[in-house]
Amino acid sequence: MKVMSGTRSGASIFIAVLCRPSLWITALTQVSRLTPRRWWARAPFLPVPTREYIRFRVLTQYGERGHELLAADVLSYLRWLKDLR
């Protein structure tokens, strides 16, 4: 498996968050915090976290490299962040 199996994993995460309006503010806050500065100057020209950060998070969460990032786990993470507020 790849870290984020491309568009499919990213799209499933986006749709999962989109279907949960209660997590929108938390998700937008995290996107703004995790988006690298001058993201528009580097490919893929999207405001997304760096591959290095995603790899680190996958390794610390699943304990192995190359595990697929699951939408359910991202939603769990966002709920945890929301509860901290």
Domain ranges in the chain?
A: 6-84
Report the C-alpha gap between 8 and 25 in whole angstroms: 23
Give the pLDDT confidence of 10-32 residue by residue, as tens digits: 889 999 999 999 999 999 999 99
Give the pLDDT confidence of 36-68 residue by residue, as tens digits: 899 889 887 888 888 888 889 889 988 888 788
- Tell whether the model's pLDDT for residue 80 goes beyond 80: yes
Report the C-alpha gap between 31 and 35 in whole angstroms: 6
